[in-house]
């Protein structure tokens, strides 16, 4: 089965095979392996030895996003509260807003377009308007819209104004460019193993400046979700030491996935493959009469929202089921107000798999009696009551 959902993605058999054994995470050999894995991730993120630390946290991506918010943003009730500006770029920014608020952190939202990338000038104006804002929370690749936001330009604005940034790079890291050394404004660069790194789910990672981790001690209001405490533990007990049982099989799989990333030529080569995948996907769908919500000029390489066929009895879950019978899984919920389907272009797949997926989509549309329909729904609009 081909997974074209936005994560977990299709993985290579060697990556899955690495998880097919019993491993004792507290064993000295395992500790050394975890320590080496974290070092590789620090280097991959452009982290500098002695300046940046790579930390892992069990759980899915949301757990590490919440941990970063708690760790670096002092609570509203504290003596010197923090405040985070979160541009409303889509569902993942909405989730960051909710995580921060439920953790008792002050949030200021910035309305944003769902069809065009966020302008650095808008962020600058919002930061200037409220000197109490200490942080910007940004989603690099908005997995709900497919738009990739301008981290270089927006980061420069945050840096110039002396504010800090928490960057959700969960659906970006491993393909889209990022070097934390070039972004001293970043407190936490966040990602997981199961998207562009093409490994298994089970943990999140944060690359953080060590000085900021030291300054963040005792701030999280949570033991499990405290990145400063993860760092403290790595100093006291060694870099590969975990506080609680880590998802060790998923970590072993990531080590193999990183070998594959190196062999491919690193993130630039992976990005080129994803871009080619996305172009072939959009071309193939266009030939079926299906078109993306976004202009091609702003369509990111990770995931596309495709307008549903204009047929009045269009039913996404029924289509997803029909497509599964042809060996392809896509997301079974939509992120736009107008009927759409989300299809990912990432994972251990290339043009052969994309062509197979397009052919399967054509057959599934025929099975359902929806072929030959042009998607005419208007782009944009926020989905009502849609979840992940
Ligand atoms: C996938 C994703 C997450 C994390 O999702 P989980 O289901 O918690 O792993 C966070 N942010 C973005 C932008 C994502 O694409």
Q: Is the CB of 89 under 6 A from ligand 1?
A: no
CB contact at 8 A, 169 and 149: no
CA of 169 to the centre of ligand 1 (A): 9
* pLDDT for the residue numbered 333: 86
CA of 203 to the centre of ligand 1 (A): 11
CB contact at 8 A, 269 and 339: no
Q: Which residues of the chain have pLDDT under 50?
A: 375-388
CB contact at 8 A, 256 and 18: yes
CA angle 147-169-103, nearest 5°?
110
* pLDDT for the residue numbered 337: 85
Q: Is the CB of 61 under 6 A from ligand 1?
A: yes
Q: Is the CB of 144 under 6 A from ligand 1?
A: no
CB contact at 8 A, 201 and 250: yes
Report DSSP letters for 83-107, one per residue: EEEEEE-SHHHHHHHHHHHHTT-EE
* pLDDT for the residue numbered 383: 43
* pLDDT for the residue numbered 386: 36
DSSP-derived 3-state class of residue 44: helix
* pLDDT for the residue numbered 335: 83
* pLDDT for the residue numbered 339: 93
Atom of ligand 1 nearest to the CA of 195: 1
CA of 288 to the centre of ligand 1 (A): 30
Q: Is the CB of 72 under 6 A from ligand 1?
A: no
Residue whose entry in the numeric block shows the structure tokens 């990022």: 178
CA of 179 to the centre of ligand 1 (A): 20
* pLDDT for the residue numbered 387: 36
Q: Is the CB of 7 under 6 A from ligand 1?
A: yes
């Amino acid at each position: 089965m081909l997974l074209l959902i936005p994560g977990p993605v299709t993985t290579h058999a060697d990556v899955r095979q690495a998880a097919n054994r019993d491993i004792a995470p507290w064993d000295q050999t395992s500790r050394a392996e975890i320590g080496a894995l974290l070092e590789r991730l620090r280097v991959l993120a452009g982290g500098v030895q002695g300046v940046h630390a790579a930390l892992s946290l069990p759980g899915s991506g949301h757990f590490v996003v919440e941990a970063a918010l708690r760790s670096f943003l002092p609570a509203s009730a504290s003596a010197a509260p923090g405040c985070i500006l979160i541009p409303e770029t889509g569902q993942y920014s909405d989730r960051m807003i909710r995580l921060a608020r439920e953790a008792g952190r002050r949030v200021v939202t910035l309305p944003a377009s769902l069809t065009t990338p966020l302008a650095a000038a808008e962020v600058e104006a919002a930061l200037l308007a409220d000197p109490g804002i200490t942080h910007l929370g940004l989603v690099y690749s908005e997995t709900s819209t497919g738009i990739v936001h301008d981290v270089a330009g927006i980061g420069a604005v945050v840096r110039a104004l002396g504010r800090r940034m928490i960057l959700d790079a969960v659906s970006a890291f491993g393909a889209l460019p990022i070097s934390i050394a070039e972004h001293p404004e970043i407190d936490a660069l966040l990602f997981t193993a199961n998207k562009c790194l093409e490994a298994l789910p089970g943990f999140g990672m944060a690359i953080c400046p060590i000085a900021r981790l030291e300054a963040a001690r005792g701030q999280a209001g949570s033991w499990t979700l405290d990145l400063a405490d993860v760092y403290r533990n790595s100093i006291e007990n060694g870099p590969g030491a975990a506080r609680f049982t880590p998802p060790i099989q998923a970590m072993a799989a990531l080590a193999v996935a990183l070998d594959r990333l190196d062999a491919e030529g690193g993130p630039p080569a992976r990005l080129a493959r994803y871009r080619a995948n996305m172009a072939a996907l959009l071309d193939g769908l266009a030939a079926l009469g299906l078109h993306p919500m976004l202009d091609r000029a702003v369509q990111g390489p990770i995931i596309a929202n495709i307008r549903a066929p204009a047929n009045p009895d269009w039913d996404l879950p029924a289509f997803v089921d029909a497509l599964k019978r042809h060996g392809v899984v896509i997301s079974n919920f939509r992120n736009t107000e107008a009927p759409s389907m989300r299809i990912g272009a990432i994972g251990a797949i290339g043009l052969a798999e994309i062509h197979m997926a397009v052919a399967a989509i054509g057959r599934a549309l025929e099975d359902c009696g929806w072929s030959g329909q042009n998607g005419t729904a208007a782009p944009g609009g926020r989905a009502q009551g849609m979840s992940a």
